[in-house]
Structures are given as structure tokens and as C-alpha cells.
A and B are shown apart, each in its own frame.
Chain A
Amino acid sequence: MSIYYYLSAFLFCLGLLGTIFKKDLISILLCLELMLGGVALLFILFSKATGFLDSQLLVIFMMIISACEVAIGLSLIIALYRKKQTIYTDDIKIITE
């Protein structure tokens, strides 16, 4: 069971790596999902180790929030694609311009 702790840390760090260096917005959202998966796994492991069921309930709420995040993120990507015809982060310089 203890190997899963390292796995969840690895998933979180790999997701962070992808979020930093990926350039298209869809891949960034995919990597965010990876990070959330790692954290959810950690919550379940803590629930096993400490004996509290609350961590498992937190995982349920995390799933709800990640579903909302993905739905809104993807609809924002579609809206951006309609306006600018791009999904790359270095094409979007609305704030700096």
C-alpha cells in the first residue's frame, strides 16, 4: 500500500510539469486532471491510514468540482477558438497587449 503514496506524489508532480511546459490549452487541462487524480488518491490513502471516512467524502466533492472545472474550461476553450481561431497560450496576449 505504501507505494501508492509515491505514486500520488509522482502524479501530482508530472501534472505540474505538463501544466508548466505544455502550450495548448487542452493539454494543460489534461495535466490538471492528472494532478487532481493524484490528490484524490492521496485522500483515499489518508482515509485508510487515519481511519476517518471524511477524506473519502472529500474525494466525492473533489470529483464534482473537477467535473465543473472541466466543463467550464472546455467551454471557455471553445469560445476562445471561435473568437481567435487558436488554442495556444502564446497566441493569447490579451492581458499584456
Chain B
Amino acid sequence: MAYVLQQLLSKSARLYPDKAAVWARGTSITYRELEERSNQLAHRLRKQGVQKGDRVGLFFPKCVESIISMLGVLKAGGVYVPLDPQAPADRVGYIIGNCGIRVLITNGEKRHALTPDTLATLEGCILTDETSNSDGIVAWTSLSEFPAAHAPEVNLIETDLAYILYTSGSTGRPKGVMLSHQNALTFVEWCAETFKVTSEDRLSNHAPLHFDLSVFDIYNTLEAGATVYLITEELALFPTSLANFIESQAITIWYSVPSALMLLLLHARMTAEKLKSVRIILFAGEVFPMKYLRQLAELSQESELYNLYGPTETNVCTYYKVERERLASLEKLPIGIACANTEAFAVATDGRLAAAGEPGELYVRGPAVTYGYWADAEKTRTMVVPNHFQHHFEEKMYRTGDIVTVGDDGNFYFQGRRDSMIKSRGYRIELGEIESALLSHPGVREAAVFAVPDEVIGNRIRAVVSAHVPDSLTALELQQYCSTRVPKYMIPEVIDLCDELPKTSTGKIDRVRLAQQAVAARQVPSTAGQQSLQSVS
């Protein structure tokens, strides 16, 4: 039984040395190559000074080297931190500083995009596209000088950290969710058992690597000796190409956010033929509208469909296997029941277990649950709390912030959030982080960011801003300012400027009213920042 993630690779490298492990951008590597190159990288990282528990950043677009890097960092005893290759330099620099990354695996272009301040904090960069070493730069090709047959000796146990995934933070900065080997393996072992992944399987990897959906794609591939097909950002944008890709690579297990599947349904002329190799379709990260799920089920008669649910802090914690016979009558898709080795329960506002049908916040306990947030003890204390149902010893549980009910069928049903976190294209977005970005602009007096529901992508983001000096700001200027602080998917599509934001009777900004007005106006934001919100100003 594996107790650290890299053992999954070592086992498959022994059993299937010549089988393709990872495919990306037209090239692939075998299990033997993945094992040997990650060993070499691990030795190089040790030479660089990486010690057990040290964080190593990965900052480059998805490719075969991404997977080598993850495994190499783990084998060196380190903790890898996948950084969004499209995030602005300011945000990447914040994360590098926040978790104390001193060694970064990147490429020439991405390294160039870092600020001088960030570069100054790094002791070394390993460049995937470089062929000669220089001061502070290690060429990927130079890794071949290091031992390939075995990894460095490092004493790791399952409760050691494996990776940190940064998600949007409500106070204006992203927060790092710490995940241990045990956290990840609890999930991977449940998946292996539930989905019966075999060495014949061909898994897609649609999610970015800083997104927790990719944990299944990569580690369940390694666990089974299967092959994972990394779908690059460019390929993911074109539904017809993606549909052809699924067919030509004969993908057997697909996992993505529902909006990616909806784009395939709406724009790829999807046919049953194109999906004939797919035996399992998994989706997670946002609510799948029933209308589109029925269409998908119609096209994939032979596939099993699963709705997986869970925040990064627990990975997947509940699941629902779609019952085809119920699809026609089901109004809302359940998030299902707890995964093995995980307990999930709804807690009412007064702290007792919610009764059947009564809304409660979903709490999760078990070995899949995070320790908390890197270097943020305060946030950790509010989210990873003592289990007050357990009086005999200390135990923690995670508050998801999601409000759920338990239905007559025994399944959990998602009802909403207790805070201002939203989902858009499956990305978890704290509206407060965007508000903080806007408010940090010296010309902004007040800012409110709110979500307008969208059938395909979940939510669209809009903002209303008032300036210290009327008419001194433009929407475009504010969008550009946001682009230096938050990822592109968090930039408001529309920013309306007004003299003063609407307030509630207690003097708070009335976000509910703003959102209702935006929905009522039914404006499809075609030209960003051009509309005016007359009802407000």
C-alpha cells in the first residue's frame, strides 16, 4: 500500500516500464522515463538545497515536464506549488513570497514575466526550455548528469505535505490550501476502487494543474499504470478540436467542470460516435444544469456519469452516480453521499445536526481534510474547526461554507453559499478578492462586485464603482488595473461607474439589489464597460 504519492509511480514503473504514462502536445513519455527523469530532478533539487518540506514552485504551461516536476519535487522531499501560468506577475509574486518558494521550475518566457522583486527572492530557477547552465539558472538538459536509477533517500511519511493549491481569498489575497500525501491518497484510493481504473484506461486532464480536479487525472493514472492526456489551454478553447481529440485518442475517462462539457454539447456537434470510447464521465466544480446533463446522458448511453463534489480543502468528499432512470423527473442534481473514509454532515446554525430537509452547512471530517491554509493560522482556525460532536478526543473537521439539505433519497443537495464565494467556469472566486483589488486603486472610493448567473459558465462577474473624483475613472482603466492583481477569469466583464453605490438600511452596500438590477436589465455584456447602470446612478 502506498503511503506517499511517488510510490504510485514507482509501482507502475516496475509493472509497465514501456507503457506511455503521460501524453502532451504530441509527445509522450513512458513510465520508465517518468521514473528516471523525476529521480534525476529530485537529485538536482537536493543539490540546489531543497530539503524535506521545502516548497518548490511550478510555473509554466502544462506539458510532460509538469508531471516530471511534480514527482521530482515529491521525491526530493519537497512540496510542490503549481502556479497559474496565466496569473499576473503580482499574484504569482505574492504566492512565491507567501509560502517561501526559493526554487522555481519554469521556462524562459515565464521567468521573464516575473517582477525583479520576485526574482530577487529566488535562489535558483530550473528552466524546462534551457540547454545551458548559467548563474542561478539550471538547464533542464543538465538533469541527465544525475542518477536516474533511484531517488534520493528522504524519510517521508503520509502526514507530510505533498502540495499546496492556492485559491481565491476573500480578504484580497489568495490562500494556500495545504494537502498532505495522506489527503491525496485517501481520495486516489477511493477513486481507484469506485471507478476501477485499469492500465488500459486513457484519462483526460482538462483542468489546469493548480486546480484540484487534476489530482485525480494524474495520480489515478499513475496508480493504475494508465495513460493521462494533458489537454492544453489552446486545445480546450476549441470544442470541435476537443471533440475530435476525445475520439482520436480514444479517451476512456473524462473529468472536467460542467461548463467544458456544455461547450462540447453546444458548439462541437457532439455525436455518440465521438464519445464511444468514453466509459466514465466525471464532472465537478459547479452545478450542472439538468437540461444539458440530459443531453449529455442521451449522447453517452454507455458511459457512467458521476457528479463529484468537494472544495480543494477536502478534494472530492461526496459523489452522486447519475441514475439515468431518474433523469427525466429530477429537477436538481444531487451532490450525493460521502466518499469512503470520509464523513459529511449538515450542521444547523445552532450547531446541532440538521434534520432531514432542513438547510445546514456541510461539514467534512476524515483523512482527506486539509490541515488548513499556509501561514494563515487565523483563517485555518475559522475553517478547520474542532469536531464538537466528539467529546473524548481532539479531532478537526472542515466547514465547507456550502449550505445543503438532505433529500428523501438520502442524498445531499447543494442549496447555496453562506458567504460571497462564487463559481465561474468551475473556478472558485471570492468576490471580496476582486473588491479588494478595485479598492486598492487610489481613485476608487467604493466598489461592489457581484455575480450574475449564466447558464453556461455559472456566473459572470460585474462591478459597480464610485470614484473619489467624479468622472476621473474609466471602466477600461479599472479592468486593466484589475489585470495586474487578479487572474483574467476574475476581471469583471462590466464595470459600471456611478456617483454613489446603493446602500441597505444599515448603511452597507446593497449587493443583492445590484445583482437583481443587473439580472432585471438582462444585458448581455457584449462590449465590456460600455453600459451604464442608470437605475443606480
Q: Do A and B come from one complex?
A: no
List chain B positions with a Cβ less than 8 A from chain A: none
User: Interface residues, chain A, CB within 8 Å of chain B?
Assistant: none
